Copies of this chain bind each other. A is one copy, B any other.
Amino acid sequence: MALKFAERMEHIKASEIRELLKLTARPEIISFAGGLPAPELFPVEEMKVISVKVLEQMGQEALQYSTTEGYQPLRKKIAERMKKVGITADPEHVLITSGSQQGLDFSGKVFLNPGDIVFCESPSYLGALNAFKAYQCDFVEIPTDDHGMDMEALEKAFQDHPNGRMIYVIPDFQNPSGRTWSLERRKKLIELANRFNLPIIEDNPYGELRFEGEFLPAIKSLDTEDRVIFLGTFSKTFCPGLRIGWVYASDEVLNKFITVKQGADLQTNSMSQRELNLYLETYDLDTHVERIRQVYHRRRDLMLSTMEQEFPKSVKCTYPEGGLFTWCVLPEHMNARDLMVKALERNVAFVPGGSFFPNGGHENTMRMNYSNMPEDKIVEGIRRLGDVLRKELGE
């Protein structure tokens, strides 16, 4: 007889992107699909020094169980570092998590009952949508433009859905669109969330990776009623393999997250937390982040300028001021999943954009990553994709 699974298992399925990335792991593939940082920038040499030092200075402690909240010196450094996005933070309100993905899962666990509504950007980050779906929520997608969510649409959605429970946003260099919210929209979001008494999950993995344009403060820094839960990570500024992210929230909310963390995995890796902490004491992460910014800036420029030359004019792409992605809208009759099959024949990959819309549709979109491929491959890959697009459009 077959085993019975929980009802929530009917709501979640393996990420399409993940299955896709498996296909694109062949070395001959030029991949704009994943959201991977450039591995050649990882501080491998520094980590050699650091890992030995941590083991010398506190080896037993680094290999032992430690507190659920996280390594205290690292919590302090994270709190200090949040000044970069405009937040004056208390280390006691930092919970260290296994990447910010864990913060997303916990957000669903702490706030969502089955049937609750999550308000999200349209499109939004697939990994977050999948994490929330496990709590059997539904999504109301709010239209976005180059300045963020449409605030009138959001207000109307709040009014129309009394079972709305949570707002999820990525205000800086959004995944997948590459767009950034204006200050005005950020302030308006706080105002509306206050009025409708909703928590805001602010996911900020890319905030430090601005190439140009004006600094914009995190929504958390504008929070007047302790209702923003800020999720940060070192995956894009340091490296993702160590799985270190954090949740920043008020006392009451953070305590809920800590309780959830305890049941979920007791604590984040003791060794990696101490390594990152010693790295931050020994080296200058800002210098490292500046190098990442420069490299990604050049790659973005190159991707956009090559697209300009190679893509049909009817394909419209966003202009990200930072982060890892641009987002392209194809003519309405096109389907990016079909296009992907043809691109793969030319050994080029991207992510069809339909997956980023929890309620479906928008199959004429695609997410393009520029952080992971070297410059020559960006040019070559965009050329090939341009070929495929022109053929499809009969140009």
Contact surface of A with B, Cβ cutoff 8 Å: 1-9, 12-15, 18, 22, 34, 36-37, 39-40, 42, 44, 47-48, 51-52, 55-56, 59-68, 97-99, 101-102, 104-105, 109-113, 127, 130-131, 133-135, 165, 197, 199, 225, 227, 235, 239-243, 252-253, 255-256, 258-260, 262-272
Contacts and interface: CB of A to CB of B under 8 A. Distances in A.
4 closest cross-chain pairs (CB), A and B: A241-B270, A44-B59, A63-B239, A39-B60
Contact of A98 (B64, B68, B98, B199): B98
A259 B63 contact: no
Nearest to A197: B1
Contacts of A268: 243
B9 A265 contact: no
Contacts of A264: 101-102, 105, 131, 264
B51 A39 contact: no
Contact of A47 (B7, B63, B109): B63
Contacts of A62: 241
A34 B99 contact: no
A64 B36 CA distance: 8
A373 to B, nearest CB: 14
A127 B266 contact: yes
B256 A9 contact: yes
A235 B66 CA distance: 12
Contacts of A48: 51-52, 55-56, 59
A102 B97 CA distance: 13
Contacts of A113: 6-7
A113 B8 CA distance: 8
A271 B61 contact: no
Contact of A102 (B109, B131, B265): B265
A259 B5 CA distance: 13
B240 A63 contact: yes
Contact of A6 (B22, B59, B109): B109
A54 B227 CA distance: 42
B36 A44 contact: no
A47 B55 contact: yes
Most buried by B among A7, A14, A63, A239: A63
Given A5-B111, A6-B109, 5 more contacts: A3-B197, A3-B252, A6-B113, A36-B64, A37-B64
